[in-house]
Amino acid sequence: MPDPRPIICICCSIGRTIGVNEQIVSRCPCSIILVFFVCHQAKVVKKMMYVIVCLVALGASFLTLFSGFGLSTLLMPAFALFFPLEAAIAMTAVVHLANNAFKLALVGRKADKEVLLKFALPGIATAFAGAWLLNYFSGLPAFASYTLGQREFQVTPVKLVIGLLMVGFALLELLPRFEKMAFAKKWLPLGGAVSGFFGGLSGHQGALRSAFLSKAGLEKEAFIATGVVAAFLIDLTRLSVYAGHLGTIGKNADWALVAAAIAAAFAGAFVGSKLLKKVTLRAVQLIVGVMLALIGILLAVGLI
């Protein structure tokens, strides 16, 4: 008579060998072993995510002292590699706000109040509009899709808009003709409005803010302090708009990672503040600019 016991596959034998529970093995642990493998891979990916985001936060916070790129410009793409875009922007905003609060405590008292009022008040108003527009784009469905291999990719309005903005601001900060771009003091309200709008929409506000404040006749310390206070106020504004959607965004966000990124950003700012000589890292700007443009293109076409 044939053996009445069920035939056990190789995967079952492997399962018993590595100590999988007998009750689970009796059901054929092929899928269980696959789950174990996937879980292990997920842990590796999560560790990589923490390493990448924290290193970017550390380096970006450090580089903001020496290059034209801001913390949001560099950190948002790192978050966007692992999270939905609207969650990535909100998480970046929290890190940016905390980092600006840290700098505000250090230099905020040296801000020029007259320039701040002319620049920041219009920026606060348009930051509301930009943040609202981000939420609006986030709710729109994909308008195109395509297949590469066995995977389907979708092009959504929010990814297209933010991707194109990333490419635009990367070029703005890399091309020589824009490197020394500056505007007369009479354009401060317009500069605040434009900077605030893009700050609310995508977080890209540093380049425009510097371009308009650089001709305001401020001393170096007042220039830095005024920019920090303006950025802090715009961050508060856009987060107040994002807060209405945190019920959705919060489900996709990793707030422990945000806390780790904040600590890394503080460390970067602290190390940078200890350097006495200002250095222009043009080579770093070029490399990072190309990477930002590439990520922006991939985001716009739905590959990220």
Tens of pLDDT, residues 148-178: 877 888 889 988 988 888 888 888 767 767 6
Q: How many CB atoms lie within 10 A of CB 36?
A: 14
As a whole number, mean pLDDT of residues 34-51 equals 66
Mean pLDDT score of the chain? 76
Token pair 């948002």 in the structure block, residue: 76
β-bridge mates for residue 146, sequence order = 153
DSSP structure string for the chain = ----SPPPPHHHHHHHHTT--HHHHTT-THHHHHHHHHHHHHHHHHHHHHHHHHHHHHHHHHHTTTSS--HHHHHHHHHHTTS-HHHHHHHHHHHHHHHHHHHHHHHGGG--HHHHHHHHHHHHHHHHHHHHHHHHHHTSPPSEEEEETTEEEEE-HHHHHHHHHHHHHHHHHHSHHHHT----GGGHHHHHHHHHHHHHHTS--HHHHHHHHTTS---HHHHHHHHHHHHHHHHHHHHHHHGGGHHHHHHH--HHHHHHHHHHHHHHHHHHHT--S----HHHHHHHHHHHHHHHHHHHTT--
pTM equals 0.70
Amino acid 168: pLDDT: 85
The pLDDT of residue 123 is: 93
Average pLDDT estimate for 115-135: 91
Is residue 61 pLDDT above 60, yes or no? yes
